[in-house]
Amino acid sequence: MKKSVLFSDFTIVTSHDDGKATISEHSYCAVHDGKIEYVGSSKEDAVKILTNLCGGSFEEYDGKNRILAPTFANAHAHTPMSIFRNIADDLALQDWLFGQIIPREDRMIAEDFEYGHLLTLAEMIESGTACAANMYDGARITTKASVDAGFRVQQTIMGKKCEDGKWSVDRDDVVDFQAFLKETGSALITPSLLVHSVYLYPGDFYVPLAELAKEFNLPVSVHISETLVENENCLKDYGCTPVEKLDASGLLNEHTVAAHCVHLTAKDRSILANRKVWVAHNPSSNMKLASGFADMPEMQKDGVRLCIGTDGAASNNNQDMFMEMRLASFMAKGTKLDPTVLNASDVFHMATRNGYLACGFEDCGLIEEGMRADLQIIDYDCPQMWPLGNALSALVYSCGPKCVESVMIDGQFVLYRHELTTIDMEKVTYFTRKTMERLK
């Protein structure tokens, strides 16, 4: 249920479209019908606006020792994969993927998609995330679950099929999914076309996929240059880098979200910048699977648009954007031997505003009047964040899931004072345990 709320006397931390974050103490934010109607220092003005809109029947949320911040948008996830959490670690990528993960994926049934997805949404909400790009099969099941949970998702659709080893585009799948989306009546879901990578399909299949995306005005979700092996094979097969191959196929544009991008050439970076592709950085996953260190400071310099993702829970092994934001900054500083690069403001912007834009939500990710009300409340009256110091630094370098008190998505509290309100965790726990036992 959408609530009218006056967030009263908070420290408001938000980024802005110039990429710079601001910190405003003793500030007020009025939310009505899912929209931010007022942000500023006057309680009187905020109350007046809310009273006009809803006749005074609003909740006042007290901001003592609290930060109000935009929620995170996780730009690269595989949400149902939480059912594979902590079952296959410290393994080489090939052993992990082909020995452990894919054999289990082959045995998944509908309820595994549904409850794995909901388990991930619960974890995301508890760690301040309100939006995720979900690159996975099972679009209808997980979309319905997302809508019921009140969670924003950019959901991939397959739009292709493989019969007798031959891939072809599946226009019906796209048409059906868009009709299905319309039926839900929800503005929380945006679709995108799953184009897994340069190594999964035959070389002549990328142009038809690009044409399909263009016909239906679909964004494209793709993995690029996650490993050196991918690059080497691409060079062997196509005589160019994965970025070049995808660009030549017409798959790179301002709606494309490219995950990983660990091993890029200067020319690759220039193509990604020119095409305005969103690069979703996955620091934990890239380190854990030993893929390497994506050079975010260099991409930043070259004007590539950057956001952050967690990757799936089978390769991370959690879905905590605080961790990823912090690690994105640390990794950049450590690899560049420069503590000033990818500062708190940079990574906060990547994890909030840019994530939302990458997922196709233009009016989310900032605490500004007119934006949708996707908000998190951080309780900093705890040993981990005290004394607060600089509130932006505190969010990026000290905060974690333990400090997230409430989360609002589109005006609805999905976490209210540490209680999930839209997801029945007992049911999710029950079904995901069953799944785990069956897929052992």
Residues numbered 214-273 forming contacts with a copy of itself, rule: CB under 8 A: 228
Contact set for a copy of itself, span 100-129 (CB under 8 A):
119-120, 122-123, 126-127
What is the closest distance, in whole angstroms, from the C-beta atom of residue 347 to a copy of itself in the complex? 10
Contact set for a copy of itself, span 341-400 (CB under 8 A):
343-344, 381-391, 393-394, 397-398, 400
Q: β-strands 375-379, 21-32: how paired?
A: unpaired
Query: Looking at residue 33, what DSSP letter applies?
Result: T
Cα separation, 348 vs 178, in Å, equals: 32
24: contact with a copy of itself by CB under 8 A: no
295: contact with a copy of itself by CB under 8 A: no
Interface size with a copy of itself, residues (CB under 8 A): 73
Q: Which range in 36-44, 157-165, 186-194, 285-293 contacts a copy of itself by CB under 8 A? A: 285-293
Which of 273, 330, 363, 421 is in the footprint of a copy of itself by CB under 8 A?
Answer: 330
Helices marked H in 239-371: 242-248, 266-274, 283-288, 296-301, 321-336, 344-349, 355-358
What is the closest distance, in whole angstroms, from the C-beta atom of residue 206 to a copy of itself in the complex? 28
49: contact with a copy of itself by CB under 8 A: no
Cα separation, 222 vs 16, in Å, equals: 27
Which of 34, 270, 436, 438 is in the footprint of a copy of itself by CB under 8 A?
Answer: 436
316: contact with a copy of itself by CB under 8 A: yes
336: contact with a copy of itself by CB under 8 A: yes
Q: Which range in 177-185, 204-212, 331-339, 358-366 contacts a copy of itself by CB under 8 A? A: 331-339
Q: Which range in 146-154, 299-307, 364-372, 429-437 contacts a copy of itself by CB under 8 A? A: 429-437
Residue with tokens 């007798």: 164
Helix axes 110-126, 425-438, angle to 10 degrees: 130
Q: Which range in 37-45, 84-92, 209-217, 270-278 contacts a copy of itself by CB under 8 A? A: 84-92
Q: Which range in 5-13, 68-76, 87-95, 203-211 contacts a copy of itself by CB under 8 A? A: 87-95
26: contact with a copy of itself by CB under 8 A: no
Cα separation, 68 vs 55, in Å, equals: 24
What is the closest distance, in whole angstroms, from the C-beta atom of residue 114 to a copy of itself in the complex? 15
Task: List C-alpha distances in Å: 310 to 42, 71, 331, 367, 397.
Answer: 38, 15, 15, 23, 17
Are 89 and 323 contacting, i.e. CB atoms less than 8 angstroms apart? Answer: no
Are 424 and 14 contacting, i.e. CB atoms less than 8 angstroms apart? Answer: no
Cα separation, 43 vs 28, in Å, equals: 6
CA-derived radius of gyration, the chain:
21
300: contact with a copy of itself by CB under 8 A: no
